[in-house]
Amino acid sequence: MQARHIGPFTASPIGLGCMNLCHAYGTPPTEQDAERLLLAALDMGVTHFDTAALYGFGASESLVGRVLGPHRQRFTLASKCGMTHEAGDGTVAPGRVIDGSPESIRATCEGSLRRLKTDVIDLYYLHRWDKRVPIEDSVGALADLVRAGKVRTIGLSEVSSATLRRAHAVHPITALQTEYSLWTRNPELAVLQACRDLGVAFVAFSPLGRGYLADALPSWDDVQALPDRDIRRAMPRFGAEHFASNLPLLAQYRALAAEAGCTPAQLALAWVLAQGDDIVPIPGTRSVAHLRDDLAAWDLRLPADVLQRAGELINTATVSGHRYAEQGRREVDTEDVAA
């Protein structure tokens, strides 16, 4: 499969999301295993790596900077601001903070540059739109970073088509990132078309349905065995009622992948890739074997009817449960598909 483009950058058809190397999905790998995975991805041809100040509260950026810094010219580096971690001071509890103020954006960028061991970030996203701050002000601060030579291009994450258009009027937006997969179709409501109207690349995170489409959780017992801090425990689709409805779909999906001669993860990624050559999925993994399996999807040539059947089997109408719990739904600005 030919390389894809994210603004001025040439990208491998599949990039690597670096969140779960230290954040959100249970026990992270050892530093040695995380380093091995990043270098393996580079050696296997991945040229787009995506991290954020939030991930591991700086740990992901530090890891990427330490391991991939010596190879900086071989890949496009993406990170994010606007959502960080507050340590707490005895009166304020520690936790995640959404802050899109120009001051916060500038400060977060300085910290990211240090951790990433680089002079410039290729693609810098606003991780979440802070709805207390006009999007024009946040994008203006990002544009200032471009003019200062600290950021080459800017992006947005989890915003609606209307917000994208407002932002793009202030400064060209290179990429929009949001969740997109067989079982999360929100971008199809309006954002994908808005991206195409404006010439904005679309970066799809969680293209494997947070493991569901990779057959990583084949039973309710597997879901119950997730560590307490795994973010899926708070997601409705992985709750007892909804997962019971979604599990039969997985059996049919697994059979379809076997019929096509590929793994469930490869079928999921092939479907996303087939939705447009302006889309770059960024699955995450902690396993070199899973990474190799994922990347094999970019050479797959699956029949159109197989992809159509996958889309008809798993979609908005057949999947039970919302992708986020109530807090997560309040934090994003995307067009919503009712559960």
List the catalytic residue out of 55, 124, 125, 180.
Answer: 55
DSSP state of 79: E
Contact 105, 79 (CB under 8 A): no
| CA–CA dist 14, 116 (Å, integer) | 21
- Dihedral sign of CA atoms 332, 279, 64, 36 in order: positive
Helix (H, G, I), strand (E, B) or coil at 204: strand
Contact 119, 113 (CB under 8 A): yes
| CA–CA dist 159, 7 (Å, integer) | 18
Cβ neighbours of 49 (radius 10 Å) = 23
User: How is the chain split among helix, strand and coil, in percent rounded to 5?
Assistant: 50, 15, 35
Per the annotation, the verdict on 124 as an active-site residue is no
Contact 52, 45 (CB under 8 A): no
Three-state SS string across 150-203, please?
CEEEEEEECCCHHHHHHHHHHCCCCEEEEECECCECHHHHCHHHHHHHHCCEEE
Contacts of 60 (CB under 8 A, 6+ apart): 18, 19, 21, 22, 23, 51, 52
Q: Which helix (H) or strand (E) holds 279?
A: strand 279-282
Contact 296, 288 (CB under 8 A): no
Return the active site residues. Answer: 55
